[in-house]
Structures are given as structure tokens and as C-alpha cells.
Chain A
Amino acid sequence: MMNSNAIKLLSTLAVSVAISACSQAPGLSFPDSFRQALETAKPGDVITVPEGTFAFDRSLILNTDGVTIRGQGMEKSILSFKGQIAGAEGLSVSANDFTIEDLAIEDTVGDALKVNEGNNIVIRRIRTEWTNGPDVNNGAYGIYPVQTTNVLIEGNVAIAASDAGVYVGQSKQVIVRNNRAEFNVAGIEVENTIGADVYQNVANNNTGGILVFNMPSIPQRGYATRVYDNDVNNNNTANFAAPGTAVSGVPAGSGIMVNSNDQVEIFNNRIADNNTANILISSYFSANYAGQRTLAAEFDPYPEEIFIYDNTFSGGGTAPGFDYLVQLRDAIYGPSGAFPDIIWDGIIDPNKPEDKQVICVANGDAQLLSIDAGNEFNDAGVDMQKHNCTVAKLAPIELAGS
């Protein structure tokens, strides 16, 4: 796709850097030789990052297909963008067949690692972190593939992003596994994506742990996501997103949250002590995106075919993250009470086909509270009979070539 022409002299230099895997071209500091290797890369290049902390004051860019960037470990090879003055990302990639592994990207002014369009993407054992901890001035996304297909995101650590630690947007065929996302606004977010398996991750101490969202007015509507075998605990960090962003509407204390998305299967997770609720299901209308918004006519704002089963819940629901939710909790359960494990805004499509399930729950004695947000909360309550149903289970994602 982005295989640029090359400049012989410089690319020879760069490839020799890559092949020898020793860190520096003669006379160049590592940051300079690394940038040169990215700029002159050829398909098949393996660009190595040695041990050490390396400072960059502007974005790095890669446009060549078939390149691997490999460090010595997420605590050993560190690309630091503290004080970055140009570029909206740390590393920006537009390429197919891209693999990056075993390094850290710290303190970027904007997104840490963005991959915009590409097939066969592997992001493995990368740490993206804002080392100052949660702060509205941190960059938005840690690991950010968008419009990608056949994507493996595994073993990464994402900390303190002011939007999402791991954010998969408008992609297809995605596996997100064995990652740890902490102290972000959203730990892991899958948005407008078709076919994603999110499993064996740890999403603790975020504002919201794992989010499956659909947003209007973009080319791809998402559906078919499985969220299973994850640990999702204590996602009670105060929301530090910029006002107006989608995630600024996530109440602190959200474990797993589905908004406007369809065919989402949530099972076998261990979800505890998320103080708004362990699971939240909502339509676009109550996403609370800092106000009421007009909606594109073609957008489906209703979550449907949501299937929740066999999760292990404990605690949570005791300190809802928004005032109106606190009032509701007080009214229904008393000030010292707690929301049940699952809350839902209760807003359904008035034109919904009869046979289309909204939310099915097969999770022991776990309860779902509909807050009836579309009707001024008048009929808020629990009626598990309405959710005594099943949705056809989704097939596992199988990545091509893995």
C-alpha cells in the first residue's frame, strides 16, 4: 500500500542498521538513525530498538508495508516524547503487515501509537504510558488502530490515557487479549468495529473498564464483539476526559459498558467493585455526551442482541458516578444501597422487530435494573423475566495467518 520509493544511499545505511541490529549508524544518535530507518524502510525490514530511553521532540512516521519494529522489552526500550513539540502522535503508521513489539512509548502530546488503515497488524507487549498519571492534558489514546483488518493486540500495557488506553476503531477481525489497561478514562474500547474478541485482559482502576461503542456519522457501523474471561475491577477513577468527548459521558465506576452496539456477548468475566455498576448497557440517547445531540437519521442508536452470561460479579453499584444516577440509586435502594450488577437505560427502538432480542441475561441471580431513562425514570425496576432469553452465540475470531 504505502511502499514508497527509496533513496539508495540512506536506505542502505538504514537497512544496515536494521540487519546488524546494533543500534546506531555511524555518526548518528539512535533517535536519528531510528527515524531514518523508518523513513527509508523497505518491506521485510526489522528495525531494532536497543535498551535505553530515547527522546523525541516530534512524531515518528512509518508508511512502508511489511516492517517489524522490535525493542528489548517494554521496560527496557523506551521512546520518550516528553516535551514533544510537533506531530499529533508518537508513532504514526499507515501500512499493511506491520508488527511492533517489546517497547514503550511514553508521554506523547497526543496519541502514543496510531495505525491508520492497514491489514495484518500485530501490536504486542507494547507499553503506552503517561508517566504523570491520570490528567486531562495527557494524550487521548495509547494503542490506537483505526480502519484496520486482521489485528492482534496482545500483552500490552496501557496507562493514563485521557481517552482510551487501548482503542480499536472502525476495524474488522480483531483480537484484544492479555493486555493490562489501568488508570485510563476507558481501559479498552472497541468502537464501530465488526468482529472483535476481547479476552483475558485486566482492566482495573479506569473510569470505565471495557467499552463497546458505536458512534454515528462514520463510515462503518460496528457489531459482533465478544468480551470474556477478563478481570474488570475497581474502575472508579474520576473521569478525567476532556469535556465533549464520547468517554466524558462514562460515569466513574463503570465495569463493562455497551453503547449503541449490537451482538455483544459478555461472559465468564470476573467483574467486581465497579461503583456505578459492573455492567452498563445504554443507547446513544443516554450516553450523556455532555448534552443532547442531534442524530444522523441512518444511525442505529439502540443496543440490541446483548447476551450476558456466566460472569462472576461481586460488589459495585454503591457510588454511582453521575448525580442523576446517585439520586436514582437513593430512590430505589436507599443511600447505603447499591445498584444491581447490570443497569440499562431501558430505551428501545419503537420500530424493533418482535423477534429481535434486546438484552438476554443468564447469569445466576445477577439482576438487571432498567432505569427507564426515556420516560423520566418512571418505570425504573428489575424484571428478569424480560431478559430470560438467549442470543445465538458468536463464532470466535480467527485471524488469517496466525
Chain B
Amino acid sequence: MNELTRTKVTVAFWLCAALLSGCGQGEVKHFNTDDYPQALSDWGVIELQGEHLKVNDSAVVYDLNTALFSDYALKLRTVFVPNGESAAYHPTDTFAMPVGSIISKTFFYPKDAKGRLMTTSTWQGNPMDISSTTHQLVETRLLVKQTEGWDALSYIWQGDEAYLSVTGKLQRLTLANDQPLNYLVPSRNQCASCHATNHTTGELRPIGIKARHLNRTTSLYQENQLAHWQSKGILQGVTEPAPANALWDDTSASLNHRARSYLDINCGHCHNPAGAADTSGLLLDYEDHPRTAMGYCKPPIAAGKGSGGRLYSIVPGHPEASILSFRLETNNPAMMMPELGRSLVHSEGVKLVSSWIAQLEGECI
């Protein structure tokens, strides 16, 4: 080895160590739409190292205020923005993100001693606390920003690796109470069922990357995530005050704010003025709409038996007479809402929405 080569190797070693804090981990890689890797670890964003889930140091872990209910799965979210670039803040809309950005969401459950999945958890959001011996990794979804727009991919965990699945899969899992769980890993097109929030253009967009979902302090960073993203250099243009949805179970927030936040993230991706469910005329995103459009005394259109025999989406004061409650209380795939993403009933969410409807005033004549 000559001197020049030795220098190169040394520089490479130190560069690697400095950038990546340990050469066991590579860089986040970008793949074009025609050469997506079969193995999740090839992306370099997230992988199992031993029994522990390792997030690339250049990706930022984040959490939402109220999140979509997904059969009690826990979710680890990360965002990667190419070095030197940043997302552009918007007060109400999804942040615009540069090409090469990668958002990941890993779905997992804590396991009990028999390996069955638990629906309660003490996890506080730290990826270091996720272990394959105590947790069941189910799937990791990626949203990848390409020149043409966002693309959605699902990787299904199998042993210590997750593999690309275009067609999705029904995972037949077992809960701690021995109930079966038919967990649906979405197909590519099913990803669009939620992420094409403008159903007319069909363009895929991240749902959680909005100010009102991100604007919170997490225990992981002990600071507000919008500030954290700015300090990491991946977000610019923040204007205060930034809106903030409530955490659905934070009883210090108003019932109205919690329920609207819950409906926003669970329903608003379709039930918005340009969404797939604009056919129903029911709008549940966190914007101001005419009362009828928000469900007050609004008759169903094509709900079929999804109306549950009830007359209006919301009957103020009467969750037991409101279609909204019925749709959340059922897990019949032909009647339930959301149509995708759950097979269980989120009883705590039902209770929240029903409590909210119960204290609404007015009557349907």
C-alpha cells in the first residue's frame, strides 16, 4: 500500500466515522422507480441490527399528534431529507419536500410471553426500545419522493429483513386475548386509496407531514418537533403560530378539539372536498365547512347498509342515532369506516367521537 492509498483509506475511514457514527451503517440510498430493492435494508433508512431496530442517523424520528388508528399497531416514523435540502412549511397543507426525501413508517406490536400481540404498550417513541425479541415487526411502508411525485411501497417483515410487496398481504396474526387479527398490508394501489388525498389528480401525498399533526413536543427530543426539524435543517419557512391538533387521549384538550383531530386524521384523507369520499358530501377534515357537510343532520347518499339504519351522519346529542358512530363501531368491511386500515374496532376512539356527539347541541327536524 503506497502512501497515497494509505491516506485515502484513512480519510475514507474517518469520513465514514464522522458522517455515520460507525461504519456498520451505510448511507441512505435513493432508488429510481424502475429499480426498487427487494430488501428494505438496501434503502439504508431502517434495518434490524441484531435484535434492535436501527434508524439511520441522517433520518429523523417523528410522531404525530393524533394518528390514524391501525388495529392498535405501534408506529415508528422517520423522515429523511437529502443533505442540504429541506421541506417547505405550510400552515395547513402537506409540506413540500425535495426529490429524494424518504418517509418510513414501521408497524409493530409488543409480544406477550406466548408471542401473541398486545394492544397496549408503554413504548414512548424511542426506536432503541424496539427489539425483535419483545416486539413483532409487521411491515414498513415507505413514501419516496421521485421526480414524478411520491411513490408508495410496502415491505413485509420476515425474520430479520423486510421484503417488498406490491400486492400487499393479509397477515393472519393472533392477539393476546387469542382473537385472530386479519392485518392487511396494503397493496401499492391501496396506498393510493388513502394517500391520493386529492382523488381527482390522483397524486400521492404524505398525510401526516402537516403542521397541525407535527406540532408537538415528544419525549424523544424534549422539544417541539417543528423546532427540532428546523434545528436539523430539514424544515424552513415556519410561521407562528403553527396550528396543532390535539392528542386524542389528552383530556386537558377540549372534547371538540380532540374529536375533530381524531376525525381529521382518520377520515379527512378521503372525506375532504377533493377526496375520494367527496361523493358522499361528508367532509371531516379539520377545516370549516357548512354544518350539513360536516355531518350535522346530513342524510347518507350511497352508504347502503353502512348507515346502520340511522338517518343522519350526526344527530346532535345522540351518538346512538348517528351514522358516524355506527361506522366506527362496526368492523364489517362493507359498513365500517375507514374502509381500509383496520379490522378491529377502536373502542376508545368510538367513545371519544360518541362523547363529542353526545354533547353537541341542536336537533334534526
> Which A residues are within 8 Å of any B CB, using their own CB?
1-8, 10, 32, 35-36, 38-40, 57-59, 61-63, 84-88, 92, 94, 108-111, 116-117, 136-137, 139-141, 144, 146-147, 162-163, 167, 169-170, 191, 215-219, 241-246, 289-294, 296
Contact = CB atoms under 8 A, between A and B. Distances in A.
Contacts of B202: 1-3, 63, 94
A86 B168 CA distance: 12
B302 A7 contact: no
B304 A38 contact: no
B310 to A, nearest CB: 6
A98 to B, nearest CB: 13
Q: Which one of A2, A6, A10, A139 has the highest number of Cβ atoms from chain B below 10 Å of its Cβ?
A: A2
Nearest to B153: A7
A4 B200 CA distance: 14
Nearest to B201: A1
B329 to A, nearest CB: 15
A85 B170 contact: yes
Contact of B167 (A5, A39, A57, A217): A39
Given A85-B333, A109-B333, A162-B305, 17 more contacts: A4-B151, A4-B192, A7-B33, A35-B167, A85-B182, A86-B182, A140-B304, A163-B302, A169-B302, A215-B301, A218-B279, A218-B301, A219-B281, A244-B323, A245-B304, A293-B312, A294-B297
Given A61-B193, A86-B184, A147-B279, A5 B298 contact: no
Nearest to A292: B365
Given A62-B189, A217-B298, A244-B309, A87 B340 contact: yes
A42 to B, nearest CB: 12
Contacts of B199: 94, 116-117
A38 B297 CA distance: 39
Which 3 A-B pairs give the minimum distances between C-beta atoms?
Answer: A140-B304, A110-B334, A242-B305
Given A5-B33, A58-B170, A94-B276, A63 B189 contact: yes
B202 to A, nearest CB: 4
B187 interface: yes
B188 A4 contact: yes
Interface in B119-168: 146, 148-149, 151, 164, 166-168
B224 interface: no
A106 to B, nearest CB: 15
A116 B279 contact: yes
Nearest to B309: A243
B280 A8 contact: no
Interface string B23-63: 00000000001111000000000000000000000000000
Q: Which one of A62, A111, A116, A136 has the highest number of Cβ atoms from chain B below 10 Å of its Cβ?
A: A116
Q: Which one of A39, A216, A292 has the highest number of Cβ atoms from chain B below 10 Å of its Cβ?
A: A39
18 contacts: A2-B196, A5-B146, A8-B33, A36-B167, A61-B193, A63-B202, A88-B339, A94-B192, A94-B199, A94-B276, A110-B335, A139-B304, A140-B305, A146-B302, A217-B299, A243-B307, A293-B299, A294-B297
